[in-house]
Amino acid sequence: MPALIFIVNLVQKCRMDFTLDRGAELTYRVLLAFFPFVIFLMAAVGFFELDEAAFMQHVPNIFPEDVADLIQSFVADLGVSQSRGLLSTGLFFAVYNTTNGFRAVIRCVNRAYGVIDPRNFAYRVLLSFVLMLMFTFSLLFMVGVLVFGAEIWHFFFPEAPMMLFNLVRIIGGLAVLTFVTTLIYRLSIAQKMRLREILPGAALTVTAWVVASTIFGFVIIRFTQYPAIYGSIAGVFILVLWLNLICIILLIGNEFNAGLKMVADGRKIR
């Protein structure tokens, strides 16, 4: 019964903190950064003469099917470029828009705790840049594990079964993403918080990302008619829906942590 009361109060808190509206704002920021980042990533692949196919074949393992198809189609139209101009342009827009997105995350995190952020504008910009780098490198690390993990595993453990490697890869990837999400929550809040106070919401967020993305892909493929309705732009529409889902879950995970802290402090969840 206390758990049910907590959930009801948490839903009310999310409504009062305009979580859905903030999620839409964050989705807009992330969407602006999404394709410039893909351009930058593929330009980097071409610049360093890496195997484009090795990266692209793992895209369906990271994104829902329709989103993966959109990315693969976009990359196929784009081509792998070694242009420094394309590299720098993609980097600039990705950094600018993603940094703005993380500034929105910082605002939402502090609002959930009822904290007025006293840090100046320059500090928040720098912090959002650091958060962007953390999240980007975590994603690149996980992509690197997907692409090169099997070779590394065979080098160190030549006799170990691949099933064990797949299990380690999944658990390791989730652990890295949970750790990075915990740090994002921790650094965004403008007050002292212990990591153990933030870890529950981060774990909830990552778990919900995996479950929601799986269900999202299943529902989109089998129970909707978006391709018939939206035609050639169906992939873009599905991408927006998926990003909105991911952003809202990120904010709800933080609201969950804020609710737990209010209960621990003997305060009523507003």
What pLDDT does residue 40 have? 67
Q: Is residue 154 part of a domain?
A: yes
What is the rounded (10 degree) CA torsion for 222, 146, 173, 25? -60
Q: Is residue 9 part of a domain?
A: no
What pLDDT does residue 167 have? 81
Q: Is residue 177 part of a domain?
A: yes
Q: Is residue 11 part of a domain?
A: no
What pLDDT does residue 114 have? 84
Q: Is residue 6 part of a domain?
A: no
pLDDT digits (tens, 9 = 90+) for 107-116: 888 888 888 8
What pLDDT does residue 182 have? 92
What pLDDT does residue 86 have? 56
The Cα-based distances of 26 to 44, 106, 156, 170 in angstroms read 26, 11, 41, 27
Alpha carbon distance 54, 147 (integer Å): 6
Q: Is residue 7 part of a domain?
A: no
What pLDDT does residue 57 have? 72
What pLDDT does residue 228 have? 65
By residue range, what is the domain housing residue 162? 16-264
pLDDT digits (tens, 9 = 90+) for 209-264: 888 888 887 777 676 666 666 666 777 888 888 889 988 999 999 999 988 888 87
Give the total number of structural domains in the chain: 1
Pick out the chain residues at pLDDT < 50: none
Q: Is residue 137 part of a domain?
A: yes
What pLDDT does residue 248 have? 92
- Could you tell me the pTM of the whole model? 0.81
Count the Cβ atoms, other than its own, within 10 Å of residue 50. 14
Q: Is residue 31 part of a domain?
A: yes
